[in-house]
Structure 1
């Protein structure tokens, strides 16, 4: 999306486009809120660029007249905080997220847990570990994840069938098994029992989790375009999700905010499930607002899929100084001419846009309908895409810029 304040012609991710930006709007969310209260008290009509929050979303007045407004400048820096030279290795990058102090903490907690376990019964094979040994222990796990064998014991085998592995030079198998037995990250005694106030389902990994999250926030500054989505990782435990239709049937669900240009994760949250089987109201809005909290008043642009997109959320993000664009579920309450059923009957290249305050609803028909909701300052920008058909002919289609941007990010 262009940062220009005047009419402009150029390229939109390889597509030619022509866009224009027009009338001005208020940039202060607080003052807008105060103005809205004054309008309600005086009986005046609401600001034309602000959606009527007092109405149900199905009652919002959508208009085919698209209003342009000034795009607020994005001035934040982006890129890596540190530049790693060609002489550095993978371990140097790993150290940006796993600081030396963390190895010290892990050795302390492991020794503490071992002491708690053997206080009543002696374990002659155990002796205190160190930060360097913890580093080697984690390195062995990373190596095992890359060079996979049916059993971890095979890495110490002398049989030439399995080859010769460097692991045996770092640690004996007996010592590795003892490290597995006592390895610990956090003190169990400091976590309240389940069901009590303050209980943390992620207590066992909290120090590492917080350290990595803080590194993600500080070692890299994202571009203006950010994407919010969902990731999963295989896991078996109390906080795992069961998805029988997925290849990985048991996994942890992780919500992320990443740089849309390269996928670097700047913020993440691990979903730990419902509390006592109580449905979480407003979960999607809470996730997006939490992941985007540090972006407020900086004019970032967030892309998301149809799980997160709602009219109320996008308006609140705009009042917080964050632009948004997202796909829409077909069951979202909005005009009939923007539903999947209606758009699917239209010819390829069909475009329909309606506006309600700052919100713009866009429907575009390619092979299938695409429904988007956005707070783009200029919803009228279009570009031309060229599609190669089966008979090698080229089909030229007019496409809204918001659609091209969404497909890119």
Structure 2
């Protein structure tokens, strides 16, 4: 399949994409509805159900609660719970409605594999024969037109601040200067100091000379204070609509967010295995969209739903959660979040989607199967429509490596006893194909490796969900995040991280001759307009002599005069 040019790829994506519509948002605290409270705890009210017994749901992805709940798995119900009404049901129908868990020795047949038909050839939509510098790849996401719009809105915000009585000097920022500003942001991600002011200190052995050669400290600060992705006059009009359906909570970030999302999809097409997961952008600013996630290392911030390529961690698409679900269907937030990221017109068909237990439900997996998408994910036993049968089920006394499974059409639900019970369902795999895993077990006061059988969906899940972990890992290596009091600037810094990481992945796919650190270093040099090989001029050597010991002063003097140490 011939590769599209960048412009053709971008145009194809723009024509086929159906943008998400988000609910209104206020910067002030608002009352959180029931769905928000459920989401903060990791629940989806449209998917999760609870029994009337005294059971406290756990945040842990896998719990042994199959025996404590009563629900339906498709049209199947346990006859033991029917009571006297079962006597009125014909015997043939009774037999059809009886389900019990099967073992690994029972043969399971996977659904017929869906043919993989991507809309474009998977991989970078750029010619590998061309040379691509880090700067040119970064500009695919932060193009000069996008940066020009940032400059226009930033200058307008500065003019508004000065009109309101702010006391600082300001000259309009240009495209080149804003690229240098972004370069300094990445430099601060590489060279960590305790505060922004420390990058311009000149009275310490630990001072760094480079930032002062790019721009002054006051200039960097004023640009940071006024950085704006939307026009302040349009912000004012949007703020007047607070409390109405017309108010857009993401208005301040949407211009740049739309550009980033289009570029992510235009210049790279994912391979067959993709992952869906949430990503938390740390933020303590006072905004309703801020979420608390107990299970995350960074517990407070903005939540993004992310689609990534499992093979390399490339961010294919993302959407920012606004604390209210305003998607078109009534199937719950988790269902709609996945469906909004999987655009069949853009992706094609035959993809395998992996997800965690927040998203997984029988309704989602069967609907994706009807769309010619395979899916696999961990699930929660108490979630609606998952099997509750206790016949031949796993118990706490089950031996390690025990497998139980139930199939309903294309959907198979598998339980596996590892250190604890693991629950996975899939429309891609057979329940068990002979896979094994090694675990360390204690035998006669000594730890030894032992082999245990492992279900096929569990093996595939562990393999491909590592892609989203790789994506988060790459983002955190040289993250541009730092403290700021405005929530939309935290989102802006996250867009910088996504753009730089995706640019690195593209470079690695096309050329593969540069480390992540080397890529970021060269990108900083190009953004700031300096050569990485040319060291900036240092301050007067007397600065070192005056604070050094006598012995060091002698060694520095001898090296300067004679070209060698004493």
| 1:260 maps to 2:310 | yes
For residues 394 and 177 of structure 1, the distance between their equivalents in structure 2, rounded to whole angstroms, comes to 57
- CA displacement 1:68-112 (0-9 Å, x = unmatched): 542222133322223678975433332232112111111111222
Structure 1 contact 327–373 (Cα < 8 Å) conserved: yes
* 1:406 Cα deviation after fit: 1.3
- 1:74 equivalent among 86, 111, 116: 116
Structure 2 contact 147–175 (Cα < 8 Å) conserved: yes
* 1:358 Cα deviation after fit: 1.6
For residues 123 and 347 of structure 2, the distance between their equivalents in structure 1, rounded to whole angstroms, comes to 19
For residues 78 and 200 of structure 1, the distance between their equivalents in structure 2, rounded to whole angstroms, comes to 34
Aligned match of 2:436: 384
Unaligned runs of 5+ in 1: 1-54
Stretch of structure 1 that moved more, 389-398 or 322-331: 389-398
For residues 275 and 371 of structure 1, the distance between their equivalents in structure 2, rounded to whole angstroms, comes to 27
Aligned match of 2:230: 186
Q: Which protein has the larger Cα radius of gyration, Structure 1 or Structure 2?
A: 2
- Write out aligned runs for 1:122-271 (5 A): 125-191=169-235, 192-193=238-239, 194-237=242-285, 238=287, 239-243=289-293, 247-271=297-321
Q: Cα distance 1:120–1:381, how it changes in 2: closer, same or farther (>3 A)?
A: closer
TM-score (norm 1): 0.76
- CA displacement 1:325-367 (0-9 Å, x = unmatched): 111113234133489x834322222122211122111112222
Structure 1 contact 338–352 (Cα < 8 Å) conserved: no
Aligned match of 1:10: none
- 1:300 equivalent among 343, 351, 357: 351
* 1:316 Cα deviation after fit: 0.9
For residues 240 and 85 of structure 1, the distance between their equivalents in structure 2, rounded to whole angstroms, comes to 44
Q: Cα distance 1:353–1:247, how it changes in 2: closer, same or farther (>3 A)?
A: closer
Determine helix, strand or coil for the equivalent of 1:395: strand
Q: Cα distance 1:181–1:388, how it changes in 2: closer, same or farther (>3 A)?
A: closer
| 1:396 maps to 2:451 | yes
Q: Cα distance 1:328–1:164, how it changes in 2: closer, same or farther (>3 A)?
A: closer
Determine helix, strand or coil for the equivalent of 1:161: coil
Structure 1 contact 70–377 (Cα < 8 Å) conserved: no
> Which structure shows the bigger proportion of residues in helix conformation?
2
* 1:301 Cα deviation after fit: 0.7
Structure 1 contact 103–132 (Cα < 8 Å) conserved: no
Higher relative contact order (CA 8 A, sep 6+): 2
* 1:271 Cα deviation after fit: 0.9
Q: Cα distance 1:84–1:176, how it changes in 2: closer, same or farther (>3 A)?
A: farther
| 1:329 maps to 2:380 | yes
Structure 2 contact 197–217 (Cα < 8 Å) conserved: yes
Stretch of structure 1 that moved more, 125-134 or 191-200: 191-200
| 1:111 maps to 2:155 | yes
Q: Cα distance 1:344–1:304, how it changes in 2: closer, same or farther (>3 A)?
A: farther
For residues 138 and 343 of structure 2, the distance between their equivalents in structure 1, rounded to whole angstroms, comes to 26
* 1:141 Cα deviation after fit: 2.0
- 1:287 equivalent among 337, 346, 349: 337
Structure 2 contact 117–348 (Cα < 8 Å) conserved: no
* 1:145 Cα deviation after fit: 2.9
Structure 1 contact 347–365 (Cα < 8 Å) conserved: yes
Root-mean-square deviation over aligned CA pairs:
3.1
Q: How many residues align?
A: 351
* 1:149 Cα deviation after fit: 2.5
* 1:400 Cα deviation after fit: 2.4
Q: Cα distance 1:338–1:257, how it changes in 2: closer, same or farther (>3 A)?
A: farther
* 1:247 Cα deviation after fit: 4.3
Q: Cα distance 1:143–1:227, how it changes in 2: closer, same or farther (>3 A)?
A: same
* 1:296 Cα deviation after fit: 6.9
Stretch of structure 1 that moved more, 347-356 or 183-192: 183-192
For residues 291 and 130 of structure 1, the distance between their equivalents in structure 2, rounded to whole angstroms, comes to 35
* 1:122 Cα deviation after fit: 9.2
Unaligned runs of 5+ in 2: 1-70, 77-96, 465-566
* 1:198 Cα deviation after fit: 2.6
Aligned match of 1:368: 420
Aligned match of 1:316: 367
Aligned match of 2:406: 354
* 1:392 Cα deviation after fit: 6.3
Structure 1 contact 315–359 (Cα < 8 Å) conserved: yes
Q: Cα distance 1:388–1:116, how it changes in 2: closer, same or farther (>3 A)?
A: closer
Structure 2 contact 307–341 (Cα < 8 Å) conserved: yes
For residues 136 and 455 of structure 2, the distance between their equivalents in structure 1, rounded to whole angstroms, comes to 44
